[in-house]
Chain A
């Protein structure tokens, strides 16, 4: 009997991102679902988290009574804890870390992504360049991190696909995305193709393809997510 359809929660998406981190990586977590990743990393992964505001070596989100008003993650509002060995630098040095190529993976939210590894996450309209948008540190991160992982809803609120042949919104970076975790699927981005690696409980490859705007190559290892 088929399993009941169960789209992934934001925490489950964050947990999948955490599963895809290598030992000892230096990782930057962007605003939104990615900031929750810090709650799902295990000590044996030995991950060092870096935030745009110059915090190197932070840990999970601060619990009640643990908050320090001066220690926040990339959201600028969520209090986090510091791990032993943490260090603080100023904003320009924080981005020096990024441009130097120290970041193994940056996890970002996105509106759209394409098989060439391009993605869009800073502007919600396609109006001509008008200096309005929310870039934050995404362009610096996207152009300098070794890999880009995205966490995003599979479709818009109106059911339109966000995984597309080509981004229709202005791109944040023309390449670099290697993994996309959505509420329905885990998709690797490799050799100009989307490769469907995992599905949310109850979803078939055909059902995921039906809400995707570009061809999905189904991995020989296609399986249910383990969260």
Chain B
């Protein structure tokens, strides 16, 4: 894992998938162990700090001041009783945040990976998120223009991969993974299962073609495979 992120440049932008499952937990922990700083991150949420060194992730990088800007659908806790990671830092001006409706976030990423510079969506029209953005009417309805996102890096979590870089995701761990894998210059993938020879994955079953993938690394024995949502404990790779 450490080798996979060794060349990571300061001040880079980074796509981080995951919606519960599907997070590149091991790559993030490896990034935490580097000195990389000045990041701009694109993710669904900002998350929380972790006490487990193997689960160090975006929340920890943010709190350590290594992130300059977060682009996310959740930048603050939805529960008044629980203060989110980013809130205090944004309030005191040390962290920039860009709050985006989740479907708009997904489409901005998809567009970035599809060569589309901008698009119109009805989401957010009439709310603060659309303030100052171009509006346009189509077929009697008002839409707001949103622009594409493309990053220097994407960290990806795949279930299966072959030596050609073709990726297969499992169940809801797919979430942002395929679109982020298409919307970054350097695509680094952690894989749950042993990496198989090219040809062993049926072409019809491939979710992301290998042409997008820069680096593949299998999650090693002892690496984090899943996280128990009730206890927060890591479930580890055994073989």
Contacts and interface: CB of A to CB of B under 8 A. Distances in A.
Interface of A: 31, 51-55, 68-72, 75-79, 88-92, 94-95, 98-99, 121-124, 129-141, 143-144, 170-174
B104 A92 contact: no
Contacts of A71: 171-172
Contact of A131 (B99, B103, B174): B99
A65 to B, nearest CB: 13
Nearest to B176: A91
Interface residues of B, number: 55
Interface in B34-84: 73-78, 80, 84
A71 B173 CA distance: 8
A53 B179 CA distance: 13
B102 interface: yes
A121 B74 CA distance: 12
Contact of B122 (A90, A121, A130, A143): A143
Given A132-B86, A133-B99, A140-B101, A31 B78 contact: yes
B28 to A, nearest CB: 16
Ranked nearest first, the 10 interchain pairs of A and B with the lowest CB-CB distance are: A95-B103, A140-B103, A76-B20, A134-B78, A70-B171, A92-B110, A174-B126, A69-B226, A139-B101, A140-B123
B109 A92 contact: yes
Interface in B5-19: 19
Contacts of A54: 172, 174-175
Contacts of B147: none
B204 interface: no
B19 A91 contact: yes
Nearest to A171: B127
Given A77-B20, A92-B110, A171 B229 contact: no
B129 interface: yes
B217 interface: no
B227 to A, nearest CB: 8
A132 B84 CA distance: 10
Contact of B175 (A79, A91, A123, A143): A91
B215 interface: no
Main secondary structure of the interface of A (DSSP, over half): loop
B21 A132 contact: no
Contact of A139 (B96, B129, B173, B174): B129
Given A53-B20, A95-B106, A132 B75 contact: yes
Contacts of B98: 131
A135 B101 contact: yes
15 contacts: A55-B171, A70-B170, A71-B171, A72-B19, A88-B171, A90-B176, A90-B177, A94-B106, A95-B106, A123-B76, A132-B76, A132-B99, A134-B84, A135-B101, A139-B124
A98 B74 contact: no
A137 B103 contact: yes
Given A76-B19, A77-B20, A134-B77, 10 more contacts: A51-B172, A121-B78, A134-B78, A137-B101, A140-B102, A141-B103, A144-B122, A144-B123, A170-B128, A171-B126
Contacts of A170: 127-128
